[in-house]
Structure 1
Amino acid sequence: MMAPPPRFHLRRHSSADVVELIQKFLLPLTIFIYTGLSHSIVENLPGFPAKLPFSLETGYIGVGPNEEVQLFYYFFESEGNPQDDPLLLWLTGGPGCSGLSPILYEIGPITIDYANSNGSLPALKLHEYSWTKVANIIFIDQPAGTGFSYAKTREAYYSNDTTSATLTYDFLRKWLINHPKYLKNPLYIGGDSYSGIILPLVVDHVYGELENEPLLNMKGYILGNPFTDTYSDVNERVQYAHRMGLLSNGLYKLAKQMCHGNYVNVDVENVLCQNVLERVNQCLNKVRASHILEPWCGDRIWNGEGYMPLEHLLSQENIQTNFLQSIATLTKSWCRLDNLLFSISWANDKSVQKALNVREGTKTDWIRCNTSIANSTTKSDGTTIYVKNVPSTMKYHTNFTHKSCRVLIYSGDHDLLVPHTSTENWIDSLKLPIQSDWRPWFVEGQIAGYTMRYVKGAYELTYATVKGAGHTAPEFNPKQCLPMVRSWFNEKTL
């Protein structure tokens, strides 16, 4: 008697079985269905002097109703052991900041070669402290209108925190269906800055739908300098400024007394509070919020995340011709964020966009952060491009403490935008058992920061400050951040 044909109940199979089944039966079907999915291998990049010594794939994945949103991504295979190393989906902050930013300035395998960028196209070099040495990493441009991501309809450009998270989760599932060999790799979701709002929502989607196919090998998440609560993180800046010597004892005590500890939602009739906050602002107005010890970028504009260079003061068509002149001028009063001029020039070069396989006919004027999204700009018709509709993600972090979940939270201790003290406050509010109390951690015999570790059943959280780092830590202290994340991935103490 012949056996009946097999029925595929994927929930009952191991991860290896799932991978095999998808490769044999589901993958051809999903490629046919997901018409918005395309990818290419990139072997050479303009500005880099040789063939890339690592594996880079770029592409688009269509998400949302009728796949109207086309999200662009960069995938770097691990330079270590890609078959077994973690798979990390990395979200950039903003909202509306491109995934190319952390690639070039934070944790990617290539960076700007400033010393040799004396031509019309900036030069690139290998990044010694890239996180791709220990993980496979997907960098994504999200939401639509960010980087090279776009929408097919005008309506699809309108987004908010919850929609952005939902489409990012949709992206992750479709990416894994198209790359089934990574289904068995430990999956982590990481991000920094405003990703502190988006990332917990994505993680919540994953934990809420783990029984869906394909099965996701979810292990935990990473957050750096995370914006977590729209009130607390901003309100904490006054206390942090006092702790760092930017406000006197007397001024801080007066502000605390007159404003009752509330420096954000100030009563319009509380004149005494408003007056003392004017004095506080005088002390902080010319302090660079991203790193309190670095030069204030006085001729730059605020984009909601930090002071930007002349990025939005130069028209896109003039960027290439004005590039060298702009750099020469900026060296007279250098600010770290002036480095962004190099990425703007590089990413807007047509040869670069061709090498990255950016789709022709889409809007290809690249900026690091889309200020219309970051600032929730309201148009003349009354519509808002992006609505920040999630004021706090504290409840999500609390819920995750009941999951099997590994968490790494790190903060640069010279970051005024999202003070590490605010992050420590919400971690304390989780009321987790402390396994390892506050102590220094070291890189090459030197204190790299301070750390604590919490464990509750199958949940564990490692918190670390990065000494001397700003917003965000890997840009300022890459030498310390790579050993930090390597130890954590290997489940070793810092």
Structure 2
Amino acid sequence: MGSTPWRSMVMATLATLLLHLSFPTEVCSSATSDRITRLPGQQPVDFQQFAGYITVGKKRERALFYYFIEAETEPSSKPLVIWFNGGPGCSSVGVGAFTENGPFRPSGNILVRNAYSWNTEANMLYVETPAGVGFSYSRNISDYRDMNDERTARENLAFLRRWLVKFPEYKNRDLFITGESYAGHYIPQLADLLIRANKQQKEFNLKGIALGNPLLEYYTNLNSRAEFLWSHGVISDSTYRIFSRNCTYSLYLSETYRGNVSSICVLVMSTVEREMSKFVDKYDVTLDVCISSLKMQSLVLSPMKMTGKIDVCVEDETVNYFNRKDVQRALHARLAGVSKWEACSSILDYKLLDVAIPTIPLLGSIVKSGIPVLVYSGDQDSVVPLTGSRTQIHGLAARLGLNTTIPYRVWFAGKQVGGWTQVYGDILSFATIRGGSHEAPFSQPQRALVLFKAFLQGKPLPETF
């Protein structure tokens, strides 16, 4: 994508701001300085929380921000789970931890407890990656312009190694990597590096990866959007025909990234947008939107449901919370080169054509190495619809010669159907989360927790209630 005078002016301003940064202290020091006493508005809890920076890069010029919460009970016996959000450029801390599967949700001036937090089952580590996302930053302004998948994977590996120096008690712990959306690139690429590193010297006790509504193969994932929208009554028959034949979504994005959108794609997309309307959230087509936040809503987030009550404006609460100075002090965080914290970065210029890199072959290699893989889909997401993901996993199982070990069936959370699942070779699994959005733990937290627990334990999803 070409530069503009506006972008040049912004980059120059950021460069000036970055000159005045103080960089984090040596990350190999004790984790004690990163311990959080209490977050503003938080009720007392029995588990420990930590937040701070880990430097990466050859000259340690970049700093990735993390938030780590120990398990609610018996943390010494629970696994370590890393969570990545996607984007690329969206915050694993603000989106993942504080609006999806962490222990707290901002609500006005307080934090309310999430009864379905994933730290009931594991020690959870959330990483804002790459530099330029959330509170993560770089001394070098050019880092925001040329970030790509390969470097992100290397730096996530460097982060993990240095984080484990800071928290040595977790070095030999069972390790799981989880996340969603563009983490369908981050996670397989990181897992592949961990497996390669272990061939040289055993470093990581990787036990499994789980990918929610992941981008794994550009064409299959994105082109399934047309059928999904049509089947949910969002677009008309005639629009479906031209959306699936004349200008597929993958073609439209390719043309957009290259700055040369054809007239037919302009017509198709304008028709889709008109029929869908801005009052339907493409990340969850069945849930209401936050009227006061439609612009932000269209970027990444979708409404959440906690214990039956839907708060469709929770993303506003999260942004407001993370922009409070007392919250930033409690988190040991700083705003570097930006005036405010954002759920998805406005300064990161990621190599967008990396979106076309297929990661399905990496999943095959990971499975061959003996690491279990779970792909799950919130079934109300039109961005990375379940139909594309299900097709991909079925095709991968066939290529790997894996037989079906659990035929396609329902699974239960409580006394209701939580979704559907199918397992291949007891090592490759697909599951849907019924009623789930693109961020399934966000909209269906109880069902997502049931799935997460089964994944950690290596057990089939409940067949009965």
Contact 1:60 1:71 in 2 (8 A): yes
Which residue of structure 1 aligns with residue 171 of structure 2?
183
On the 8 A contact 1:77/1:136 being kept in 2, the answer is yes
Seen in structure 2, the aligned counterparts of structure 1 residues 213 and 362 have a Cα distance that, compared at 3 Å, is farther
The 3-state SS of whatever aligns with 1:102 is helix
Letter in 2 for 1:441: W
The equivalent position to 2:102 in structure 1, one of 108, 112, 121, is 108
Within the alignment, does 1:357 sit opposite 2:350 as a pair?
Answer: no
Q: CA deviation at 1:440?
A: 0.5
1:77 correspondence with 2:52: no
What CA distance in whole angstroms lies between the structure 2 residues aligned with 1:269 and 1:200?
Answer: 31
Partner of 2:185: 197
Query: Given the alignment, which residue of 389, 414, 436 partners 2:354?
Result: 389
Which stretch has the larger CA shift, 287-296 or 66-75? 287-296
Q: Secondary structure at the match of 1:187?
A: strand
Superposed CA offset, 1:371-426 (max 9, x none): 333xx3xxxxxxxx655525221221122231111122111111011111111111
- Residue 126 of structure 1 is matched in structure 2 by 113
Of 471, 483, 494, the match for 2:438: 471
| 2:406 is the alignment partner of 1:436 | yes
Alignment match, 1:416: 382
What do the CA deviations read for 1:36-63 (whole angstroms, capped 9, x no partner)?
99851112111114x3332101121111
Secondary structure of the residue aligned to 1:300 is helix
Q: Residue 281 of structure 2 contacts residue 298 of structure 2 at CA under 8 Å; is this kept in 1?
A: no
Give the CA deviation at 1:467.
Answer: 0.8
For the Cα contact (< 8 Å) 1:195–1:226, is it kept in 2?
Answer: yes
Unmatched 5+ residue regions in structure 2? 1-24, 304-309
Indicate which of 138, 144, 157 corresponds to 1:151. 138
Inter-CA distance 285–307: structure 2 relative to 1 (3 Å threshold): farther
Cα distance between partner residues in 1 of 2:411 and 2:88: 32
Alignment of 1:198-213 (within 5 A): 198-212=186-200
Deviation at residue 91 of structure 1 after TM alignment: 0.9
- Which of 413, 438, 449 aligns to 2:419? It is 449
1:363/1:252 Cα in 2 relative to 1: closer, same or farther (>3 Å)? closer
Q: CA deviation at 1:436?
A: 0.8
TM-score by length of 2: 0.81
Other-structure match for 1:323? none
CA distance in 2, matches of 1:493, 1:455: 12
Q: Which residue of 2 aligns with 1:139?
A: 126
Counting only pairs closer than 5 Å after superposition, residues 14-53 of structure 1 correspond to structure 2 as 34=28, 39-49=33-43, 51-53=44-46
Could you tell me the percent identity over the aligned residues?
Answer: 30
Q: Which amino acid aligns with 1:133?
A: T
* SS of structure 1 residue aligned to 2:216: coil
Write the deviation string for residues 120-157 of structure 1: whole angstroms up to 9, x where unpaired.
xx210221000001011110111111111111222333
Q: Is the 8 A contact 1:37 1:59 kept in 2?
A: no
Secondary structure at 2:313 match in 1: helix
Q: Any runs of at least 4 consecutive aligned residues in structure 1 with deviations exceeding 6 A, and if so which? A: 35-38, 266-274
1:63-462 equivalence runs, <5 A:
63-98=56-91, 99-112=93-106, 114=107, 117=108, 122-158=109-145, 159-212=147-200, 215-249=203-237, 252-253=240-241, 256=244, 258-259=245-246, 262-265=248-251, 279-286=271-278, 287-296=280-289, 300-301=294-295, 305-306=299-300, 338-359=313-334, 365-373=340-348, 376=349, 386-391=351-356, 392-430=358-396, 431=398, 432-455=402-425, 460-462=427-429
Cα separation, 2, equivalents of 1:217 and 1:269: 46
Deviation for aligned residue 1:300: 2.8
Alpha-carbon shift at residue 492 of structure 1 (Å): 1.5
Shift of 1:484: 1.3
Q: Tell me which structure has the larger Cα radius of gyration.
A: 1
